[in-house]
Structure 1
């Protein structure tokens, strides 16, 4: 077991970030509303995630720097440099604040099924004490500031959710003919926002910054690239299989409205019966905690790179950033908005922000003065630009659908 843990790399954090409450919720909703017909969107998301995260890991190993730090170093003109930094910081803060609210709301969604109403009334003010509780747990884990403690503690929590849904997907005995049809692309107008949400919950924009920053914690030289690629691909493929299993389990739910964790848990009933809601509740709580850790951590790494801070995870400036994101997450998740609504909004917001971050990454990955012989190949560039084009197209269609409605 000790050897197994020692071989686990930063790819685990990437998977832990996207196998969160957002994935459970959006994938379940996709299965409930559209059956297996959006499995193709997940395949696209998994390929996109592997391509972009491999670039991010390669950048981190070769430069031993984060993405924001590298982008900043490429511009001598102060005005241009600060405009770019402003764009990056805006995208990350908006995306991470929304995502963090979704993460904490997911944890609340899980706990509320077991513990009842998550709010207490103090005079005219309604306080969601579960959001605060989850925020405190995430705060303690982040304050410890030990990368290996974070990495290893997340593995067990992610595995718990993964195994439950994979077993459920098998037990539900899906219709194979319908299942295979789900891998044929379908861009019907009513599915666009869900497709954007599926991409946003798999290819998490902040993961591109987080991966480049933390990969140097484990690997230091170009000889480590094969190990990093293997770690990245294995982690993402396993995460993708779990996402597919959640859609398949969701497709077995015999209802169209999903409002709480008990409704989400109906997909697990074939395996866990009446205990399904408790299993899913604990899983949502675990997934909420894992993702609630990675979102603030990623934001802090981005700001650290943009501002040129040299201090580590335990510095006051680094901690101030993740504390701010964590505070925003707790605040937004306490506003009385339905948890499922917050979670879905966060995934769509991430899907819309992805092209901006991906363009920055692609530009950097073609700079010889940064990466030397490790710049993108023609094949990697074609895949990268294709991903940007598809996500831009889907994002614009999604925004247009919201406007005309």
Structure 2
């Protein structure tokens, strides 16, 4: 166990940051609207996201470059620019909505302080931390920040839960071909298998293994790290759906419009302690996810234009790189003051990820099977099988969503 915990790094951080306020909103809405009906998605998304993130990690470790750098070196420029253009607005909206969610629940805990004060404070804190801390320090902090996710595993045990119904819902999928159900399904797929996490995973593994010889032992450690991180992420996802299905759906609360609303709804039903745990979890996951979001965006832009990059560099050594971090945070903060609904941004950001992710999955499958790029470390058969299942599943769900929007 001690050796396993030592191996946990970028994979754990990536998995934990996947359960950001955007994910919490999506999972809360799934539970409130459909009860236990979407618990099965936690089971099927685990192998899919583990397979894709492992490919990204392997690409980063083998090439010592992020996905953007690999695309720039080996593929047509239009593919690189398409990935950048499709990712930029979704990531900015995601950051802005996460900041808004953190501000809203902080205001619930301390009502005397307006939520906008918290949003500005969180923005400043994250920018300063990313400028003044090295990658190793940030990774260490984020690794321990992952512990906040454990709060979601506690709440269901504080309420009356029919565990036989839970197990039935997990292992026997219930699918409804309605517009609301398919929209939520695409949002769940998009927020668990998110394109920005692909870029972050590859870049962090490249940072971690920059001066190391990559061999089968190193890749085995990476696989264990990624699998552990994705398992933790999906376990938290399952427990959030479970909590909201058990507490909100069963008590007639079927619509969650804000993260604040999700936490508040728990208060009279599940008790003050459950409500506080949920609220603290939103803040913790936001602090964990936002550096990953703006960091992945900055790496993408810096690699595209050949700028000096890296969280291990001082500000004066990589001014454009840190400039993108600052700019993305400020633009994201501004979205909270121009009438953009935080919750709609959170939910529809997940939907947008769900629509764009299949293209990125296809690109990752091509890179990880390209012997010119990967040498002897191309995909094994199981990786390809899971990768294609992911692509087909996400494409089918996105296709159904588009169909329901047209009809």
The two structures have a TM-score, normalised by structure 2, of 0.88
Structure 1 CA distance, aligned partners of 2:151 and 2:269? Answer: 8
Is residue 115 from structure 1 mapped to residue 115 from structure 2 by the alignment? Answer: no
Report if the CA contact (8 A) 1:142-1:293 is conserved. Answer: yes
State which of 99, 103, 124 in structure 1 corresponds to 2:98.
103
> 1:125: which partner in 2?
none
- Give the distance between the partners of 2:37 and 2:222, measured in 1 at CA: 33
Segment of structure 1 superposing worse, 393-402 or 202-211:
393-402
Q: Are positions 1:196 and 2:191 aligned together? A: no
Change (3 A) 1:117 1:394: farther
Query: 2: distance between equivalents of 1:44 and 1:2?
Result: 29
Map Cα deviations across residues 13-59 of structure 1 (whole Å, 9 max, x no partner): 21232111122211111111101111122222222210100001111
Distance in 1, matches of 2:135 and 2:24, equals 26
Distance in 2 between the 1:65 and 1:95 partners?
23
Query: In the alignment, is residue 143 of structure 1 matched against residue 146 of structure 2?
Result: no
Q: Once the 2 structures are TM-superposed, how far is the Cα of residue 11 of structure 1 from its aligned partner?
A: 0.9
Contact 1:28 1:250 in 2 (8 A): yes
CA distance in 1, matches of 2:295, 2:154: 32
Preserved CA contact (<8 Å) 2:50 2:227: yes
How far is the alpha carbon of 1:65 from its aligned partner?
1.2
- CA distance 1:266–1:115, change in 2 (3 Å): closer
TM-aligned CA deviation for residue 147 of structure 1: 1.4
How many residues end up aligned between the 2 structures?
A: 391
- Distance verdict in 2 for CA 1:158–1:323, change over 3 Å: same
Task: Give yes or no for contact 1:59–1:212 (8 Å, CA) kept in 2.
Answer: yes
Specify the SS of the correspondent of 2:379. Answer: coil
1:314-325 residue pairs with structure 2 within 5 A?
Answer: 314=313, 315-325=318-328
Q: d(CA) in 2 for partners of 1:206 and 1:388?
A: 16
In the TM superposition, what is the alpha-carbon distance from 1:4 to its structure 2 partner? 8.4
CA RMSD of aligned residues (A): 2.5
Relative to structure 1, the CA distance from residue 386 to residue 259 in structure 2 (aligned partners, 3 Å threshold; closer, same or farther) is closer
CA contact (8 A) 1:19 1:239 kept: yes
Q: CA deviation at 1:61?
A: 1.2
What are the equivalent positions in structure 2 for 1:168-247 lying under 5 Å apart?
168-179=155-166, 180-183=168-171, 184-189=173-178, 190-219=180-209, 220=212, 221-222=214-215, 223-247=217-241
**Contact 1:168–1:271 at 8 Å: present in 2 too?**
no
Deviations 1:270-292 (A, max 9, x none): 99722433332222122112111
Whether 1:38 and 2:38 are equivalent positions in the alignment is yes
Counterpart-to-counterpart distance in 1, 2:289 and 2:337: 17
**What does residue 26 of structure 2 align with?**
26
Distance 1:5 1:163 in 2: 16
- 1:348 paired with 2:351, answer yes
Q: Is the 8 A contact 2:299 2:309 kept in 1?
A: no
8 Å CA contact retained: 1:98, 1:349 = no
Residue pair 1:167, 1:271 contacting (<8 A) in 2 also: no
Give 1:78's aligned residue.
none
CA–CA separation in structure 1 for the residues paired with 2:273 and 2:382 = 48
Once the 2 structures are TM-superposed, how far is the Cα of residue 115 of structure 1 from its aligned partner?
3.3
Report the Cα distance in structure 2 between the residues aligned to 1:53 and 1:4, rounded to whole angstroms.
18
CA gap of 1:377–1:156, structure 2 versus 1, over 3 A, is: closer
2-structure distance, mates of 1:206, 1:344 = 16
Alpha-carbon offset, residue 203 of structure 1 = 1.3
Question: Which residue in the other structure is 2:54 paired with?
Answer: 54
Q: Distance in 2 between matches of 1:103 and 1:402?
A: 27
How far, CA to CA, are the matches of 2:174 and 2:380 in structure 1? Answer: 27
The secondary structure found in structure 2 opposite 1:37 is helix
Q: Are 1:300 and 1:319, in contact at CA under 8 Å, matched by a contact in 2?
A: yes
Shift of 1:308: 2.8
| Cα offset, 1:382, TM superposition | 2.3
Could you list the runs of 5+ residues in structure 1 that have no partner in the other structure? 76-80, 121-127
